[in-house]
Amino acid sequence: METINSHQPVFTFGEWFLGENEVDQNYYDFANKYGMSLLDFRYGQELRQVLRNNSDSWYGFDRMISETETKYEQPIDQVTFLDNHDMDRFHTIGADTKKTDLALTVMLTSRGVPNIYYGTEQYLTGNGDPNNRGKMTSFSQTTKAYQIIKKLSTLRKTNQALGFGKTKQRWINNDVYVYERQFGNDIVLVAMNKSTTATYNVSGAATSLPAGTYTDQLTGLLTGGSVTVSGGTISAFDWTFLQSNYRSLPNMVL
């Protein structure tokens, strides 16, 4: 690592596999003490439980975010992911691609350094080696997943809240998760509904955004609309399946 780190700037990360619900203090010690980041398996496994396997709710995801904020000395430097060469593909045959779209959106707007495994943007499927690392027979820039990655990668470059901001949970139930990230004057508000059937009325959610009306920065890719902020509170609104909204300060160029 001394040789690698002598060529600055450089970013290095490695893999220390953790299974579902596995917690290992040695894992955090390595990330904190040995000069390189790790693939954040705690993050990846939890996001898959919530959105791929439906074995946990947003409460579990929010708890993981809170706990790892204190476990890692530099949580924003850990590498988040959906797909990995040692795991089954996130997308499965016959599954709704919107689950992958939602998971990509969460990963690209939450803390950490997003790592996108090839083919996720094409909704590749496959369980186990070698099926989870198969060849790509085509490539499209028109998939919704590709468009989400493109838009949010650009947003990450212009809004520092996505790269460096702390995470605040603003509203939550089993299906809906509203969180805000802020760094200096940059603010992003993200809202997710993973239910395929339920509509929820979200009211009384606090925000650091100044008063005003904010529109969806994904321009409707996930059916997001607009919300109004007054007195540090988001106006009540109803959310249906996979509605997602991204907000930044009015003077940001997005």
State the fold for domain 161-239.
Immunoglobulin-like (2.60.40)
Q: Radius of gyration of the chain from Cα atoms? A: 18
Sign of the alpha-carbon dihedral angle for 191, 194, 197, 198: negative
Domain 2-158: top CATH class? alpha beta
Can you give the pLDDT at residue 223?
Answer: 78
pLDDT of residue 235: 86
Q: What are phi and psi of 5, to 5 degrees?
A: -70, -10
Which regions in the chain score pLDDT beneath 50? 241-254
Give the per-residue pLDDT at 158.
92
Looking at residue 217, what is its pLDDT? Answer: 86
Query: Considering all CA atoms of the chain, what is the largest pairwise distance in Å, rounded to the nearest integer?
Result: 55
pTM summary value:
0.91
Q: Contact at 8 Å (CB) between 218 and 246?
A: yes
In this prediction, residue 224 carries a pLDDT of: 78
For tokens 């904020």, name the residue: 69
Q: What's residue 220's pLDDT?
A: 82
Count CB-CB contacts under 10 A for residue 33.
8
pLDDT attached to residue 199:
84
Domain residue ranges of the chain, discontinuous segments joined by +: 2-158, 161-239
Question: Is-contact 159 108, C-beta < 8 A?
Answer: no
Q: Which two tokens stand for residue 22?
A: 């596995």
**CA 140, CA 222: separation in Å to the nearest integer?**
19
Tell me the DSSP string of 58-110.
HHHHHHHHHHHHHH-SSGGGSEEES--TTS--SS-TTS-HHHHHHHHHHHHHS
DSSP β-bridge partners for residue 226: 215
